[in-house]
Amino acid sequence: MISAHQKTVMKASRTRSQERILSLLKTIKLGISAQDMYVELRSRNQSMGLATVYRSLEALKLEGMVQMRTLPNGEALYSLAQQDKHHLTCLACGTSIPINQCPAHDLEVELQTDHKFKIFYHTLEFFGLCSQCQLAQTAQLSQ
């Protein structure tokens, strides 16, 4: 557990840009790209340069606060690292369905111990076709 004191110290070392990005990420469910974050912050009157967005994200990533996942189109989505969440991602329409199980959870605990490695997060992605896209594909094939 992190003591209240440690929390204050960690918080104090963060820049205002990092704080703004964190509070934005708290409102985002499925992750957001740096570009969209830049636009969103601007609409909240919390404008910062895109380079600052990337720099802040990089710092938060090394702190274990933020995690990144890459979509099939190469776009990187950022989200808060706390939640052990995984997704089923449809390659046709890009829909991401969150799943609540994590088969890697116990493995992670084991690896941390065996390798004395501090794991911030892991990624596990499932790709394929959602039910709607499967129907669309079947319809197309039977034409």
Least distance (Å) between residue 91 CB and Zn ion = 8
Residues contributing to the site for Zn ion (CB under 5 A): 84, 90, 92-93, 95, 102, 104, 130, 133
Q: Distance between CA atoms of 97 and 95, rounded to whole angstroms?
A: 6
Nearer to Zn ion, 32 or 130 (CB): 130
Least distance (Å) between residue 78 CB and Zn ion = 17
Nearer to Zn ion, 9 or 92 (CB): 92
Close Cβ partners of 69 (under 8 Å, ≥ 6 residues apart): 31, 76, 77, 79, 87, 123, 125
Nearer to Zn ion, 81 or 102 (CB): 102
Least distance (Å) between residue 1 CB and Zn ion = 21
- Burial of residue 103 (CB within 10 Å: 0-12, 13-18, 19+) is exposed
Q: Which of 65, 72, 110, 102 is nearest to 90 (CA)?
A: 72
